């Protein structure tokens, strides 16, 4: 095979350890590796997409997104998050992933320090590197939450702090007190906060609180992907102080043009239509969390019960992680999420209760 030349910043980034798991294991494998809802997209959302196709709404849309959707997202922010974002402050993107990418490209200069939790979502470090920045992990405390005092120590001189609550891979939900303290401290020191809230609806006991309530220099990132079981539709958005928008728009315009037109009409139905499917999904995730947590603690794993998203981050040791994967229980080793948790594995419970029970039984046999 020829060895061509590649840019160093791309070569220096590893392939995602998670995408590999999409096809992992044999026919008998139980895949708890994937971070996407196993539910189908609700019917009224699909029908809106079909109607958009039939009505010929298949061309480019305005770069920033269709006005009706920006309006609907603005109303959603007021209704659900207590935030006043004008439609002009909202940019519709191809998933939360593109929103994160735009934010990094537009904010980060070469050499800028970009902070995020380690372990944390795989994209933050890679996107910071692509933008020329220096990714820097902030360690979590023993309960897998952000250690606010520790995070503050790293904040001076940083450019961006990425906050992700509810968090991937830990399922931790940060308290209002922590979020407020982190945002106020960051903004005080001219550190922009990127708040990734894609799991906001999957919180089981605590309450989700948006970071933008506590500071002016906050970019809120969200998506239809997890909330409405729409990962493949690729619709997300960011909301920010108005002067940022043209800068983000430049990157979006040249790299993406616009989010898919049909998906935007589907998302419009999602944000303006019946919200009961979200409630039903949350209740099912809660039941699965309880089942998996009870099963794992019974096996002797000792860790705090996760409060949100659909993940559990379980301290089980490298040997057992490998044995589990070999036995067809597909879980993601902690090193996929940074350097600090190689003894942990991420379990996704976005799969049926039956699969979760089978996975627990298989682990039990391995440990006998």
Of the candidates 85, 110, 114, the one whose C-alpha atom is nearest the C-alpha of residue 244 is: 85
**Applying CB under 6 A, does 96 fall inside the site for ligand PLP?**
yes
Place of tokens 């735009």: 102
Which of 223, 314, 324, 345 contacts ligand PLP by CB under 6 A?
Answer: 223
Q: Please, what is the minimum distance in Å from the beta carbon of residue 115 to ligand PLP?
A: 15
Does 97 participate in binding ligand PLP (rule CB under 6 A)?
yes
Q: State yes or no: residue 307 binds ligand PLP (CB under 6 A).
A: no
Question: Smallest distance from the beta carbon of 35 to ligand PLP, in angstroms?
Answer: 4
**168 near ligand PLP, judged by CB under 6 A:** yes
- Distance of closest approach, residue 98 Cβ to ligand PLP, in angstroms: 7
Task: Tell the smallest beta-carbon distance from residue 235 to ligand PLP (Å).
Answer: 8
Q: Which is nearer to ligand PLP, 41 or 320 (CB)?
A: 41
Nearest by Cα to 91 from 240, 194, 263, 225: 240
DSSP 111-143: T-EEEEEES--THHHHHHHHTT-EEEEEEB-TT
Assess contact for 220 and 210: CB atoms under 8 A.
Answer: yes
Query: Exposed, middle or buried: residue 223 (CB in 10 Å: 0-12, 13-18, 19+)?
Result: buried
- Binding segment (CB under 6 A) for ligand PLP, from list 64-72, 95-103, 211-219, 314-322: 95-103
Could you say which of 21, 32, 33, 35 contacts ligand PLP (CB under 6 A)?
35
Give the three-class secondary structure for 184.
helix
Is residue 41 within the footprint of ligand PLP (CB under 6 A)? no
Strand, helix or coil for residue 329: strand
Provide, rounded to whole angstroms, the least separation between the CB of residue 236 and ligand PLP: 4
Closest distance to ligand PLP from the beta carbon of 223 (Å)? 3
Which contacts of 24-27 are long-range, i.e. CB under 8 A and separated by 24 or more positions? 24/325, 24/330, 25/325, 25/328, 25/330, 26/328
- Spatial distance between the Cα atoms of 8 and 249, rounded to a whole number of angstroms: 26
Asked if 225 touches ligand PLP (CB under 6 A), the answer is yes
Return the residue of 231, 260, 263, 351 that touches ligand PLP, per CB under 6 A: 231
- Which is nearer to ligand PLP, 350 or 360 (by Cβ)? 350
Least separation in angstroms between residue 367's CB and ligand PLP is 29
Q: State phi, psi for 41 to the nearest 5 degrees.
A: -60, 135
| Residue numbers 119-158 binding ligand PLP by CB under 6 A | 121
State residue 53 phi and psi, 5-degree precision: -65, -50
Q: How near is the Cβ of 131 to ligand PLP at its closest, in Å? A: 16
Return the CA Rg of the chain. 20
Between the two ends of the chain, the Cα-to-Cα distance in Å is 46
Nearer to ligand PLP among residue 231 and residue 260 (C-beta) = 231
Cα separation, 147 vs 277, whole angstroms: 34
Query: Is the Cβ of residue 64 or residue 122 nearer to ligand PLP in the bound state?
Result: 122
What residues from 102 to 121 belong to the interface with ligand PLP (CB under 6 A)?
121
Query: Does the protein bind ligand PLP through residue 293 (CB under 6 A)?
Result: no
> Binders of ligand PLP: how many residues, by CB under 6 A?
13
Residue ranges binding ligand PLP (CB under 6 A): 35, 95-97, 121, 164, 168, 196, 198, 223, 225, 231, 236
């Amino acid at each position: 095979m020829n060895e061509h030349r590649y840019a160093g910043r791309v070569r220096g980034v590893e392939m995602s350890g998670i995408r590999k798991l999409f096809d992992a294991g044999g026919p008998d494998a139980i895949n708890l590796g994937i971070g996407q809802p196993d539910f189908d997209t609700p019917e009224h959302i699909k029908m809106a997409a079909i109607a958009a196709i039939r009505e010929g709404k298949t061309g480019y849309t305005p770069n920033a997104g269709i006005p009706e959707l920006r309006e609907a997202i603005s109303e959603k922010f007021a209704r659900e998050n207590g935030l006043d974002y004008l439609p002009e402050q909202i940019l519709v993107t191809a998933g939360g992933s593109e929103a994160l990418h735009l934010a990094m490209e537009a904010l980060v200069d070469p050499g800028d320090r970009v902070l995020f939790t380690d372990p944390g979502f795989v994209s933050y470090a890679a996107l910071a590197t692509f933008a020329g920045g220096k990714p820097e992990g902030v360690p979590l405390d023993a309960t897998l939450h952000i250690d606010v005092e520790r995070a503050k120590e790293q904040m001076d001189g940083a450019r961006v702090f990425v906050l992700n609550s509810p968090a991937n891979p830990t399922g931790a939900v940060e308290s209002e007190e922590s979020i407020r303290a982190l945002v106020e401290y960051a903004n005080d020191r001219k550190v922009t906060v990127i708040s990734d809230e894609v799991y906001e609806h999957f919180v089981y006991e605590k309450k989700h609180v948006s970071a933008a309530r506590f500071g002016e220099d906050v970019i809120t990132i969200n998506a239809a992907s997890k909330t409405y079981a729409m990962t493949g539709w690729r619709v997300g958005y960011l909301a920010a102080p108005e002067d940022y928008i043209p800068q983000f728009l430049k990157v979006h315009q040249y790299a993406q043009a616009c989010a898919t037109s049909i998906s935007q009409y589907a998302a419009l139905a999602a944000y303006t239509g019946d919200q009961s499917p979200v409630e039903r999904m949350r209740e099912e995730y809660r039941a699965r969390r309880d089942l998996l947590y009870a099963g794992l603690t019974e096996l002797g794993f000792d860790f705090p019960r996760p409060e949100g998203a659909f993940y559990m981050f379980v301290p089980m040791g490298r040997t057992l992680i490998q044995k589990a994967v070999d036995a067809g229980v597909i879980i993601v080793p902690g090193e996929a999420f940074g350097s600090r948790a190689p003894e942990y594995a991420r379990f996704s419970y976005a799969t049926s209760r039956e699969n979760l029970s089978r996975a627990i039984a298989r682990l039990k046999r391995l440990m006998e």
